[in-house]
Amino acid sequence: MRTKEAADNIRAIFKREIAGYFGSPVAYVFIVIFLLLVGFFTFYISRFFEAEQADLRSFFEWHPWIYMFLVPAVAMRLWAEERRMGTIELMLTFPITVGEAIIGKFLAAWVFIGIALLLTFPMAITVMYLGEPDMGPILCAYIGSFLSAGAFLSVGAMTSSFTRSQVISFIISVVICLFFILAGYPPVTDVLSGWAPLWLLNLVSGMSVLTHSVSFERGVIDFRDLSYYISLMAFMLFANGIVIQNRKAA
């Protein structure tokens, strides 16, 4: 009985949040900016047509860098806006748990970002028209991109619960997301390989979304990569819950 009630509460929060996204022009601005950025980096920076390869490697390799800025912009309002307007206290008086509120908000934001990602389907159609690509790696890369967005979103949700200021939440979230990118960035790992022991190099690079997204781009869904994304999201949302729970108790 409690499971059904929890599902209903999560669904109610989800509907409230997703309606909030599409009820304002911010959602459409985000989607347009996202599509423009992925198109710009793919066609003008990576020279997609000049590469003459029927794959989307040059398309997906830019996703973590774009998410680093755009996902925190989506996440910064999740809790900071509630705290600024004072509605978080009202929400927590409802017969819902903190965990249900967190999951509902997170899923709504993740689905919203997923919709923006799905709207890039013309890229897949383009490579199918230009050649005969292996659709397996492309599908896997989409899954990896969606998981990367979820990981960055969980970071943004956690930082949003710390402060009333969306700007502060955005800045902190970008810095943390940058760490999770640079930890596996070749220039950084090359510097570490010059003096750091192998176990430390593997530990640092293993914390990077770049390290774990490569397998997806190759068409391989590895349990270790899935565990990384799930563990990162679970940890950040758990930290999110601790912050909100402490505020509720106060």
* Spans of all domains in the chain: 2-249
C-alpha separations of 3 from 142, 223, 225 in Å:
31, 28, 29
Q: Is the pLDDT of residue 34 over 90?
A: yes
Q: Is the pLDDT of residue 90 over 60?
A: yes
Q: Is the pLDDT of residue 51 over 90?
A: no
Which pLDDT does position 9 carry in this prediction?
Answer: 84
3-state secondary structure (DSSP) of residue 227? helix
Q: Is the pLDDT of residue 169 over 80?
A: yes
Confidence of residue 68 (pLDDT cuts 50, 70, 90): very high
Q: Is the pLDDT of residue 73 over 60?
A: yes
The conformational region for residue 207 under phi > 0 = left, psi -120 to 50 = alpha, else beta, is alpha
Q: Is the pLDDT of residue 35 over 70?
A: yes
Q: What is the mean pLDDT of the segment spanning 39-61? A: 76
Which pLDDT does position 154 carry in this prediction?
Answer: 95
Which pLDDT does position 244 carry in this prediction?
Answer: 84
Looking up tokens 């499971």 gives 3
Confidence of residue 114 (pLDDT cuts 50, 70, 90): very high
* Mean pLDDT computed over every residue of the chain: 84
Which pLDDT does position 170 carry in this prediction?
Answer: 92
Q: Is the pLDDT of residue 72 over 80?
A: yes
Confidence of residue 21 (pLDDT cuts 50, 70, 90): confident
Residue 170 near residue 73 (C-beta atoms within 8 A): yes
Q: Is the pLDDT of residue 87 over 70?
A: no
For the chain, the maximum distance between any two Cα atoms, rounded to a whole number of angstroms, is 60
Q: Is the pLDDT of residue 202 over 90?
A: no
pLDDT in tens, 217-226: 888 888 889 9
Identity at 240, one-letter amino acid code: N
Say what the pTM is: 0.89
Find the range with the poorest average confidence among 94-103, 124-133, 151-160.
124-133
Which pLDDT does position 91 carry in this prediction?
Answer: 67
Calpha distance 6→101 (Å, rounded): 10
Calpha distance 161→76 (Å, rounded): 9
- The secondary structure element, H or E, covering residue 20 is helix 2-22
